[in-house]
A and B are shown apart, each in its own frame.
Chain A
Amino acid sequence: DVVMTQSPLSLPVTLGQPASISCSSSQSLIHSDGNTYLNWFQQRPGQSPRRLIYKVSNRDSGVPDRFSGSGSGTDFTLKISRVEAEDVGVYYCMQATHWPPATFGRGTKLEIK
């Protein structure tokens, strides 16, 4: 199975400052169809996960444009340009290229300093 490694696991950020979360995979996530199936999810405290980004860099409907995804191959990044209080929660990357199984990173807990 593909192992997804996130860093950092804990991310204290000052309101209004940028934040960046890294995710690396144990194999390239480029699918034979040319797509890269790397998604990012946000899970706010007490809530269900919500997908933010699909196929590396595509924002889901309703996701603020302060969230962006980038990367290729085995290294990916989720960036928040200016952190707001509502961004507190745990962020997960997930790969669905080498599927099944889909595999998730351990999660990065974002908190406000």
Chain B
Amino acid sequence: EVQLVESGGGLVKPGGSLRLSCAASGFTFSTYSMTWVRQAPGKGLEWVSSISGASSFLYYADSLKGRFTISRDNAENSLYLQMNSLTAEDTAVYYCARDYGGDYWGQGTLVTVSS
């Protein structure tokens, strides 16, 4: 059974940093691209970033302006999102999803940016 479990969310002050993790199981992690999608409170879905299986290709939403970094550790079956210079507009539930097309999603982790 495919499982994706996000962690690392929480309350952070504006300008702060946070690192999200996504633990994957139930499939051969290294053979799949992975994606982060976020959802602001009461809003729709927004694609954030994706990474290929071997980390050869990294993709980001232009709106992030270089503040976020996606990475993965295939030995640990884990996906990461390093988020810097956070603002209130980054407040959202962050989901990790398998593949560029999002065939499986985790339960999400809430990031709240507030002073």
Contact = CB atoms under 8 A, between A and B. Distances in A.
Interface in B99-115: 100-108
Given A100-B59, A101-B62, A107 B102 contact: no
Contacts, number: 58
Nearest to A50: B105
Given A101-B61, A101-B62, A49 B45 contact: yes
Contacts of B95: 48-49
Contact of A104 (B46, B103, B107): B46
Interface string A81-104: 000000000101010100111111
A39 B100 CA distance: 11
Contacts of B100: 96, 99, 102
B107 to A, nearest CB: 5
A41 interface: yes
A43 B61 CA distance: 22
Contacts of B105: 48-51
A79 interface: no
A54 B35 CA distance: 16
Contacts of A100: 47, 50, 59-61
Contact of A60 (B45, B50, B60, B103): B103
B47 A104 contact: yes
Interface in B13-71: 35, 37, 44-47, 50, 59-62
A54 B103 contact: yes
B108 to A, nearest CB: 6
B25 to A, nearest CB: 16
Given A100-B50, A100-B61, A94 B44 contact: no
